[in-house]
Structure 1
Amino acid sequence: MARAAKKTAASKTAAPKARPLDNRDAIVDALMELAAEQDFGDITISMIAERAALSLADFRDCFPSKGAALAAFNRRIDRIVLDGTGADMADETTKERLFDVLMRRFDALAPYKTAVDSIASWARREPLAAAQLNRIVVNSMRFMLEAAGVDSGGPVGALKLQGLALAWARLVNAWLADDDPGLAATMAELDRTLRRGDMLVARAEDVDRLTSPLRSLARGVFSAGLRFVGDRRARRQEEAEASANDA
């Protein structure tokens, strides 16, 4: 894989640049510290604010909920990965570029592995939590696809996004169980996942091409129907006004 040859630019993501600590950063850091120490579901906003040495009012100014702080953590990881994306993978295949991007995401998550385990366990137990986390992950995967040069727009793009979000959940489980510093098991699972994904996306694109004329026809029929209804209403209005004038 390209990771073995180029080490997936891991050096770009292994040591995130230090940034000035503001209240939002302090809250995110506190959340992840607490998640590494206890069940994520037991963490309250008050606990996060106390750990961050902030008031509840300060927390409220920054985030409306614990879930919003978790989304901010995800955006932090997104930023690390996106900042590390360069032109060195431009000549690689789409699959290789996406492999590189997602492995660099694991590199960025490495310092938070225990906390991520707590979050994943919480999501497995709580359906509503899983749905919330899925929305967060879908937003992140949109930018991971874009970083790999993969179009995430349109019907097929939506399929890619949701498919990658679901695959990411499985990959995270593989990563959490992988104690090898070289992440051999994680890389093998990611390679299998991307090969399966290539086939599914190819089929979806075939279906999209086949159904595109039908969708265009349906839109045309629908538009014509709307015009017909509008014309009938206009004629009825004109007839009603003419009758009123005659009276």
Structure 2
Amino acid sequence: MDWRRAKSVLILAFLLLNVALGYQLWSSYGEGFSASADVNDLPPETLAVIQEKRISVQANIPAETPELRDLTYRAEAPLGSGERTMLETPVASKAVYNEKELRQALGGAIPDLAQYQFDQSVSRDGVDGVFVLYRMIDGRPMFDVKLELFYSNQRIVAYRQDRIELLPAEQSQKQEVLPATKAAASLIDRNYLPVGAVIKEIKLGYHHGQIFDSQTQVSAPSWRVLLEDGTAYYVYAISGEVVTGKEEGQ
């Protein structure tokens, strides 16, 4: 065996490995840096209100500003009006934390289960509670279109589901959304948040807009600002209009 040649090959292999690992580390750092903004990126007047009202921003503030359009859809029934459907075979509640396991356990019982995604931030814990899943569109949640899984004694025993049909939206043009920092600032500056409020999460999705009839309506790109006590505020990501939501998960 040519040991000198083997040694050179090993040195070259380790060098290439170090280059690859270094690039991966640099890429991860760059993605992490651009994925979120800092609370200090808020305007000075907003920071002053935060200090005065003892508001805590514990949420990761997204830095993304994608171009999104309104969604038009038809609901099979008024959203949130459905009755609970009991499962013939209850399943272990821990399945909700594993998407593949959940689909295997309930995919045959719940229609279109794969189109919904679990949101732990708004789900109620306890002996008896509810897991909330949202209808997803291109990786973003529709905050009004839910699948609720009711559980008792660590078993999912029933569900309630909003089902929709997306409609063509040729007249809806894509527009760049407002930054999450502006959405948060609009809530804070306009005194929507109470003294001592804790902002737990800021997420981009869709929230209800214009209603054409009892079943057909528009869902607009919106920032959901979720407080630690469960109260949700929605800031339309195009117009900046604020909508106060009910307590999530109730």
Greater fraction strand: 2
Q: Which structure: larger Rg?
A: 1
TM-score (normalised: structure 2): 0.23
Larger RCO, structures 1/2 (Cα 8 Å, 6+ apart): 2
Bigger proportion of residues as helix:
1
